[in-house]
Copies of this chain bind each other. A is one copy, B any other.
């Protein structure tokens, strides 16, 4: 695949009628906005798998961009977003969730009309809400993506080409999305080694509040209540359960606020379940406590080790 040019025919619906054009993959130019852990990994994976001839990195921090260039995640860089996407066939916005909407809008206004824009944000509804009515009428299409991959470590220094291998990427088209653009976005992630799944953005946010955002808050709160002098008295359980509490606080604060209603709903279910546990402790009901624990065990066992 890496040396082979796949011609991917995309019928792109513009305002003035269907304008069929050939969408090439490997792309001539892939632009990555925000070259951190995920953006850098997109670059490395795309490079390794021959998904693009040229990868342009766009960011704010020249030192970080230089490091990504040295790592081989990008071929060139600029701190000017409009300049960076000017020739892009495909743009992946990998900035924090509270900056994604504005970056997508800016990219859409500066990129060629044929360009397709996606992102890698952990929340999807807020981006759709943020770009609504602000995208160019005949300009590039935006299709949201969320690769379920990452690490509590941040920065392009921790990027790796196998970041997406076998991982799931949720793609969140809307009723208005161009089906071919959706297909290109899915093909892109597949080329990086990931599986894809289509989902409604709102449903995605509800599910991820429970499967990702709540666990982060739960882990952070556990670490937060633990007196540091007791850390010597921890073992593998504490270590695993709190691992993600080491994640970037700014990024996670943005995620929580971007999805705050769904996170609050998930949290309320969690608090309710812990309240049940508290009552069982008080009443010393061994059998009920076993049942309560078994319910959690059943779900966890279904996931595998």
Contact = CB atoms under 8 A, between A and B. Distances in A.
Interface of A: 148-152, 167-168, 170, 197, 204, 207-208, 210-212, 214-228, 230-247, 249-250, 252-254, 256-257, 260, 263-264, 266-271, 273-275, 277-278, 281-282, 284, 286, 289-297, 299-303, 305
Contact of A208 (B170, B223, B225, B233): B233
A240 B244 contact: yes
A235 B300 contact: no
B242 A257 contact: no
A253 B215 contact: no
A207 to B, nearest CB: 5
A151 to B, nearest CB: 7
B223 A299 contact: yes
Contacts of A275: 271
Given A212-B235, A222-B215, A235-B149, A300 B257 contact: no
Contacts of A230: 207, 210-211
Given A230-B207, A235-B167, A274-B271, A253 B302 contact: no
Contact of A238 (B212, B225, B235, B267): B212
Given A256-B281, A273-B225, A274-B217, A246 B208 contact: no
27 contacts: A148-B234, A207-B233, A210-B230, A211-B226, A211-B230, A211-B231, A211-B235, A212-B237, A215-B242, A217-B277, A218-B274, A220-B300, A225-B270, A225-B273, A237-B243, A237-B244, A245-B297, A246-B300, A247-B297, A249-B294, A250-B290, A257-B286, A257-B289, A260-B281, A263-B281, A267-B281, A271-B275
